[in-house]
Structure 1
Amino acid sequence: MTAAVRPGPGASRDGLPEDVPATPAALRRLVADGRWTGPTAGLLDGYQQANLVIVPRDLAFDFLLYCTRNPAPCPVLAVTEPGDPVVRLGTTVADLRTDLPRYRIWHDGELAAEPHDITAHWRPDAVGFLLGCSHTFEGPLRAAGVPVRYAPESAAPPVYVTDVATRPAGRLSGPLVVSMRAIPARLVARAVEITARYPAGHGAPVHIGDPAALGIADLTRPDFGPSPVVEDGDVPVFWACGVTPQLALPATRAPYTITHYPGHMFVFDHTVDAGPAPG
């Protein structure tokens, strides 16, 4: 029998089970059955989590090129064949239509729905991309004694839209989006060293210190997510964020795009340290 762990902050709502299985495969089964609809942020420390982007085939090359030119916010982990909803990486075999807790659907650049299952919305020309996520390096940070401070109501970091432009590709362009974690000054170098080991989780910070250097006028008012938790002696540290492509995609006016709902990620079977085992 699989051991269970407590859900992360904010995960015990929407009729969710009291305990969360301790393996990604077991969690994905709950998600597919509709018994887990909450965030994955704060769950299953050490396992690779991923952002989701699904685009029509005729936009897929532009999107892949955009990711290649902007690897910090868009580290590509897996790409599906056109029309095939199944992702296969190492021992992970999962259905992108059902195995994330919540999605966002866009039609012609406008947000149309936020369902928990996209089976009815899947298209024959759909191409799925799974991109690395910073939640994957939080376990290693905590294990090294670096605190990861979040507001009590959320297990996700505050996220900010910067005035730094990403490198455009085809129809895609937009600003860099960053997540922020307040780190004690004496541990900033340690946090940089640890996160740099995980390019599949956005890697090392893109900025340390003054938020104004990124065009962030008020650190207490993030564009997405909860207000930051900053204690005396903390330094704001900013990492590239997977919300970046979600701001670039609507401007393409594609007939449809699909992304994950913030904080509701795909979870792979492999840990960030081990990487995917041969399938």
Structure 2
Amino acid sequence: MMSAKKMLAILALLPGLALASEEEFQYDRAPERSDIGSLQNGAKLFVNYCLNCHSASAMRYNRLRDLGLSEDQIKNNLLFSGEKVGDLMNVALRPADAKAWFGAVPPDLSVIVRARASEKGSGADYIYTYLRTFYKDDTRPTGWNNMVVPNVAMPHVLWQLQGVRTARMVEEADPHEPGKKIHRFDGFEQVSKGSLTPAQFDEQVADLVAYMDWMAEPARETRKRLGVVVLIFLTFFVFLAWRLNASYWKDVK
């Protein structure tokens, strides 16, 4: 059986399948997390699970110092295969092997949160909903399906934490085509419990998504702070220019 660590690394394979159904399912709002503890936990989840197959080639391990981690903490807790603290977050998996094993090359996750933003919600909303809406489906090769991406190629990587669920579907008449039946999603049914409660599971997913959101632009907070400084400077400069202009022209009739 594929380990949970390798399974989570297949995140986001074939996200474009069944777009019509994807448009029908509403995203849940991803909790906003900016505290260091949540981001550190999200980084641990990301490095331990996602970096087996997915790269984050725009990110270096030493950038995690921005989350309050020392180089020793990064070395001892987040490096497992001889990487150096200054290395990019790449993986040894060859694209040809990934294609043979998974049917597609796992995408780079550096900016996946930005890439999945749409009119339905942010990229964080998409990933947060996606990771929480897997259900057991024995008709699929992996045994799993997903409400956000129907017929997804990826198995449920977090099933040991969330437990096993099935999707409850209700058959109804199609309002657009008389005589035709459709199946409407009517919630999940828990088959077996996972190691976490539903609330705890959502917390872990929220931390992982928060880290991926941070990783898409690690300098975001610095940019915001600099923006405030620039606006304050421009405001002061405009005031100074106005007073100098008034002083220059005060004796001119």
TM-score with structure 2 length normalisation?
0.28
Is the radius of gyration larger for structure 1 or structure 2?
Answer: 2
Higher strand share: 1
User: Larger relative CO (CA 8 A, sep 6+): 1 or 2?
Assistant: 1
TM-score with structure 1 length normalisation?
0.26
